[in-house]
Structure 1
């Protein structure tokens, strides 16, 4: 099984964080962007695991399972991130703050 993590923060992510008069508002928006990034990363990693799991009776196989499984994995990623995640959001948040501080100078 090959696991890849070809997830990069799109350049538009920094531009999508609106500038605000209050640095607290900007910081909370950057935290949300960082958490979304971690959620997408975790979902991607979990999706790599799902093909190895066989579905059991009575609900197995078919296109509906593929559709719902994708949605379930996305929710798993969001739930893990909301529960504290694995530290990716914190690292991304720190980097976003560094970039913003450099942009202000």
Structure 2
């Protein structure tokens, strides 16, 4: 039994290239200084190369991001419920056998579910189908902002 690993795409392309251009690229890469790749990339795109941040700057950004509060939930509980209902509706309407669109296997089903979740949230945010309005009308004390609620006790 033999194992045949997939070919290396970069090596296959290099082998298929014109020998003179291939040798010039190898020479350029072996003689380049560590920062020259970013410089060469900037020259190729027509934009100047951006300075790389120092490790201290990167660590500071990570520490700052770690201390930020978690994002708040969007909308009232009634709007979140409507978004969930719409997500279920949208997910049932999305094609099941569309591996070319969503991918195959577990990754495809996760992508499909995430797409349905975002579509449902956007539909609810833009007014929905009226579920949140009906819930808010039936329970005005829950729909009121937290500072304006009155206690009945």
Query: Which runs of 5 or more residues in structure 1 are unaligned?
Result: 1-30
> Hey, what does 2:126 align to over in structure 1?
83
TM-score under structure 2 normalisation? Answer: 0.40
Please show how residues 1-105 of structure 1 align to structure 2 within 5 Å: 32-50=76-94, 52-55=95-98, 57=100, 60-97=103-140, 104=152
**Residues 87 and 119, structure 2, Cα contact 8 Å, conserved in 1:** yes
**Residues 136 and 142, structure 2, Cα contact 8 Å, conserved in 1:** no
> Hey, what does 1:26 align to over in structure 2?
none
Query: Which runs of 5 or more residues in structure 2 are unaligned?
Result: 1-74, 144-148
Larger radius of gyration: 2
**Shift in Å at residue 60 of structure 1?**
3.1
Query: What CA distance in whole angstroms lies between the structure 2 residues aligned with 1:67 and 1:45?
Result: 16
TM-score under structure 1 normalisation? Answer: 0.56
C-alpha change, 1:56 and 1:68, in structure 2 (3 Å) is: closer
C-alpha distance after superposition, 1:8-52 (max 9, x if no partner): xxxxxxxxxxxxxxxxxxxxxxx61110110011111122223x4
Greater relative contact order (Cα 8 A, min sep 6): structure 1 or 2? 1
C-alpha change, 1:91 and 1:76, in structure 2 (3 Å) is: same
